[in-house]
Amino acid sequence: MSRLADALAPLGLMLLLLGAWEAACRLTGVPAYFLPPPSQVAVAAATGLPVLVSAAWNTLSVALVALALAAAGALLLAILVGLSPLLERAVRPLASALQVTPVVAVAPLILIWAGIDHPERAVIALAVLVAFFPIFSGAVTGLRSADPDLERLFDLYGAGRLERVMRLRLPAAVPFLMEGLKVGAGLAIIGAVVAEFAAGSGGVRGLAWQILDAGNKLQTDRMIAALVVLAVMGVAVHAGLERVERAGLRWWRGR
Amino acid sequence: MTPATVALEEVEVDYRGRGRALGPLSLRIGDGEIVALVGPSGCGKSTALRLLAGLEPATRGVVQRAPGRGETSVVFQAPTLAPWMSAAANVALPLELSGTPKPEARARALEALERVGLAGAGASRPAQLSGGMAMRASLARALVTQPRLLMLDEPFAALDEITRRTLADDVLALWSQTRPAIVFVTHNVEEAAYMAGRIVVLTRGPGRIAGEVRVEAPLPRPAGFRTWPVFTEAAEAISALLAKGAEVAP
């Protein structure tokens, strides 16, 4: 009974808010281009559904490609850094500097470098940039998280550096890598959206472009519908990765 | 006197810039000898153990070690098994790291698990083993290479009394098969008197030798050994040396 109530509570709140919104729009007579009622947003979403779905797929595929590239690059760099403390000291300040620089500020430059003809490359590059750091710092921390006594065991039997990385540090880092991937995936979506905004109409025709385009035409209902699709997509990706993480950790721990 | 497996001569270890952790200490461990290192917390017992195992260098003094690479094994305070590997893979690890082909390493790991009473547990993950079983797997990992020198760093500290006593007898029974030299660190006086032929008592940090106690009785211990006068006398002598060692000004 209480589980059912737990499940129904957020749904109830949402219905209540939507009802209040609908009522407020009808009672005050606020113009639809300023604030459309939820019923009008629903109609816009239903009629524009194929466009919205394909836009969502465009954004999602950019985010996933960026996530894969960021994960591969971050893991490789983390392993190299793990093999050489000097390289780590060299990389750290640069990495921090890039991390704190807002992606919107870097976007125009990346757009020029990627070539005005290939804005989709710029969008992917910007999403990679955002997703890279949580995965990288998770991997660096994880590669250092092996039990010191297990490290001593590897000393005792004369294991080489590469063997130590492959058989001890990398497997020990798995929980940190999963956490980094989860955070990185969320940021890759944000990165892809921000990059689409920066790239403007020439870029990937994803959800951000839908929002921009609808905004330019004062189609507020389409804007909100695209926002809702974006939120649903973010929640779904997060939930999916949470499941992958749980299953991965169960395998890693053996229970 | 049996030939020395490891010998420390006037050895000192400094903390990095924070004064002395251990020594000066002179100690020799004979082939096949079982020696207990007993002392108060922070006296440098574990440092001494790492020194004897060759895992840590001495700041001053001479460390002579007869065992080559792969001939020293260490059992740590915690079982220290890799959670992502099966028990058998954990036990096979030292062999594989020393270059033994995988199938042979796995076969010997299963044998070693059987010797410590874990036949059939090879496929289990460490998380599926009880504390005592995990410690046995850790012991199997240390014995699988048939070491000349076996180091135990307070290996039973986290276990209950009954498991501790069973494991103490098991270690002695396993010792009698291949007779490696054993050095084990403990702060449990009775455990030291029960398991070791010689007990070296250290002063409080930086640890020096407060004195030695020998237990002249057969190993492995006969049934009811804890009621023998030689056992109770040894335990009293160790306690007395510990009390004396605690008074020594650092």
Check residue A203 and give its pLDDT: 67
- Work out the number of other CB atoms within 10 angstroms of the CB of residue B40: 17
For A71, residues 6+ apart whose C-beta sits below 8 A from its C-beta are A131, A135, A181, A184
Pairing relationship of beta strands B209-214 and B198-202 according to DSSP bridges: antiparallel
Check residue A162 and give its pLDDT: 86
Q: In chain B, what residues touch A168 (CB-CB under 8 Å)?
A: 82
Would you say A111 and A199 are in contact if contact means Cβ atoms under 8 Å apart?
A: yes
Is pLDDT above 60 for B249? Answer: no
Q: What digits encode the pLDDT tens for the residues B49-103?
A: 888 988 888 888 888 888 877 889 999 988 999 999 999 999 999 999 988 999 9
Rounded to whole angstroms, how far apart are CA atoms A119 and B163?
Answer: 67
A interface residues, B as partner, C-beta within 8 Å: 147, 149-150, 152-159, 163, 167-168, 171-172, 174, 252-255
Digit-by-digit pLDDT tens for chain A (255 residues) are: 578 888 899 899 999 999 999 999 999 989 989 999 999 999 999 999 999 999 999 999 999 999 999 999 999 999 998 888 898 889 888 888 888 888 888 888 888 888 777 888 888 998 999 899 999 999 999 999 999 999 999 988 888 888 899 999 999 999 999 999 999 999 999 889 988 888 776 667 899 999 999 999 999 999 999 999 999 999 999 999 999 999 999 989 887
Rounded to whole angstroms, how far apart are CA atoms B66 and B70?
Answer: 12
Does the CB of B68 have a partner CB in chain A at under 8 Å? no
Rounded to whole angstroms, how far apart are CA atoms B91 and B141?
Answer: 4
Chain B nearest-CA distance from A223, in A, is: 47
Contact A254 B80 (CB under 8 A): no
Rounded to whole angstroms, how far apart are CA atoms A255 and B125?
Answer: 8
Largest separation between any pair of C-alpha atoms in chain A: 79
Chain B nearest-CA distance from A151, in A, is: 10
Contact A153 B83 (CB under 8 A): no
Ramachandran bin of B70, using left for φ above 0, alpha for ψ from -120 to 50, beta for the remaining angles: left
Q: What digits encode the pLDDT tens for the residues B211-245?
A: 899 999 888 898 889 999 999 999 999 999 988 88
Which string of DSSP letters, residue by residue, matches chain B?
A: -PPEEEEEEEEEEE-TTS-EEEEEEEEEEETT-EEEEE--TTSSHHHHHHHHHTSS--SEEEEEE---TTSEEEE-SS----TTS-HHHHHHHHHHHTT--HHHHHHHHHHHHHHTT-TT-TT--GGGS-HHHHHHHHHHHHHTT--SEEEEESTTTTS-HHHHHHHHHHHHHHHHHH--EEEEEES-HHHHHHH-SEEEEEPSSSB-EEEEEE--S-SSPPTTGGGSHHHHHHHHHHHHHHHHHHHS--
Backbone angles phi, psi at B58, to 5 degrees: -85, 145
Share of chain B above pLDDT 90, in %: 49
Backbone angles phi, psi at B182, to 5 degrees: -120, 130
For B143, residues 6+ apart whose C-beta sits below 8 A from its C-beta are B73, B112, B115, B116, B150, B174, B178
Residue A194 carries which DSSP code? Answer: H
Chain A nearest-CA distance from B250, in A, is: 29
Letter for the amino acid at A191?
G
Q: Tokens 């036949």 map to which residue?
A: B119
Rounded to whole angstroms, how far apart are CA atoms B240 and A72?
Answer: 61
Rounded to whole angstroms, how far apart are CA atoms B174 and B118?
Answer: 14
pTM across the whole model: 0.83
Q: In chain B, what residues touch A171 (CB-CB under 8 Å)?
A: 82, 84-85
Chain A nearest-CA distance from B84, in A, is: 5
Q: In chain B, what residues touch A157 (CB-CB under 8 Å)?
A: 69-70, 93-94, 97-98, 145
- Work out the number of other CB atoms within 10 angstroms of the CB of residue B4: 17
Residues B9, B15, B17: CA angle, nearest 5 degrees: 125
Check residue A21 and give its pLDDT: 95
Q: At what angle do helices A220-253 and A49-83 cross, to 10 degrees?
A: 40
Would you say B175 and B34 are in contact if contact means Cβ atoms under 8 Å apart?
A: yes
- Work out the number of other CB atoms within 10 angstroms of the CB of residue A39: 14
Q: In chain B, what residues touch A161 (CB-CB under 8 Å)?
A: none
A102-137 as b/e: b if 16+ CB within 10 A? ebeebbeebbeebeeeebbbbbbbbbbbbbbbbbbb
Check residue B250 and give its pLDDT: 47
Q: Which two three-digit tokens encode residue A148?
A: 């010191």
Q: In chain A, what residues touch B125 (CB-CB under 8 Å)?
A: 253-255
For A5, residues 6+ apart whose C-beta sits below 8 A from its C-beta are none
Provide the 3-class DSSP secondary structure of residue A126: helix
How many residues belong to chain A?
255
For B172, residues 6+ apart whose C-beta sits below 8 A from its C-beta are B34, B195, B219, B220, B221
Write the ipTM. 0.86
Contact B125 A157 (CB under 8 A): no
Q: What digits encode the pLDDT tens for the residues A35-49?
A: 999 999 999 999 999
Q: Which two three-digit tokens encode residue A55?
A: 């836009």
Contact B94 A152 (CB under 8 A): no
Of A150, A156, A171, the CB nearest to B72: A156
* Over residues B125-130, mean pLDDT: 94
Q: What digits encode the pLDDT tens for the residues A108-165?
A: 888 888 877 788 888 899 899 989 999 999 999 999 999 999 999 998 888 888 889 9
Rounded to whole angstroms, how far apart are CA atoms B94 and A205?
Answer: 55
Of B50, B124, B127, the CB nearest to A253: B127
B70-107 as b/e: b if 16+ CB within 10 A? bbbbbbbbbbbbbbbbbbbbbbbbbbbbbebeeeebbe
Contact A153 B126 (CB under 8 A): no
Q: In chain A, what residues touch B70 (CB-CB under 8 Å)?
A: 156-158
> Higher-confidence residue: B206 or B213?
B213
Q: In chain A, what residues touch B83 (CB-CB under 8 Å)?
A: 252-254
Residue B150 pairs in a beta bridge with: B73, B182
> Higher-confidence residue: B110 or A84?
B110
